[in-house]
Amino acid sequence: MKKPLLIVFLVLLVDQAIKFYVKTHFFLGEEFHVAGNWFIIHFTENNGMAFGMEFAGNYGKLFLTSFRILAVFAIVWYLYDLVRQQAPFGLIISISLILAGALGNIIDSVFYGVLFGDSNYEVAKFMPPEGGYAGLMHGKVVDMFYFPIVEGHFPTWFPIWGTEEFIFFRPVFNFSDSSITVGVLMILLFQRQFFPKKPANTDVQETESTINPAT
């Protein structure tokens, strides 16, 4: 269990270090162009799911955070069971990455509202004397990676979105989102190795042969 825990720890360390730096050095909406116009650090926050998707209202936020916590308990149990059964190490790595990503965003949702001041129009302070910008479990997830690699407009003949602006890749995301995505992609790409088909039940065949020796 040491290696999965190390993976989770390292992902959380990198994720929270990046978020802490962005939160305490950028005001909301500020951006820094790392490589031209296709790799940008763009500070934004969201109340909901991965890649900036939203979930309605305060009750929706509370429900989503609670659901995430329950999901993490389920993932921890599944990971423990995989290690106990000596599952393929690649699958253990994949689940560890998914777990680490989920935990990284949960930390934001649960604690950031209490730990940080508001980022609107100013750089947020860590542990401000006047208190944080929200209550426990109502924090916003910090996102910063933006890759608008291709920008343009849909052609006029294109259904529904004709002439509208097109950006790939539009969502702003964080290191935790990347960890979850890599874990899921690994499972999809290597599912045959991770979940090999079990051989036919030879015991049933042997029993049938004993009962019907003529066959």
Q: Locate the domains of the chain by residue range.
A: 2-211
The verdict on whether 118 is a catalytic residue reads: no
Has residue 38 got a pLDDT over 90?
A: no
- Assess whether pLDDT exceeds 80 at residue 89: yes
Tens digit of pLDDT for each residue in 109-124? Answer: 999 999 999 998 889 9
Closest by alpha carbon to 124, among 46, 30, 27? 27
Helices (H) and strands (E) counted in the chain, each on its own, are 7, 5
pLDDT band at 55 (very low <50, low <70, confident <90, very high): low
For residue 206, the model assigns a pLDDT of: 53
Residue whose C-alpha is closest to residue 8's, from 78, 83, 82, 102: 102
Q: What is the pTM of this model?
A: 0.82
Taking 90 as the threshold, does the pLDDT of residue 62 lie above it? no
Q: Which among 15, 81, 177, 203 is annotated as catalytic?
A: 177
Q: How many whole angstroms separate alpha carbon 169 and alpha carbon 38? A: 9
81 noted as active-site residue = no
pLDDT confidence of residue 18: 98
State residue 50's pLDDT score.
52
Choice among 15, 81, 118, 143 that is catalytic: 143
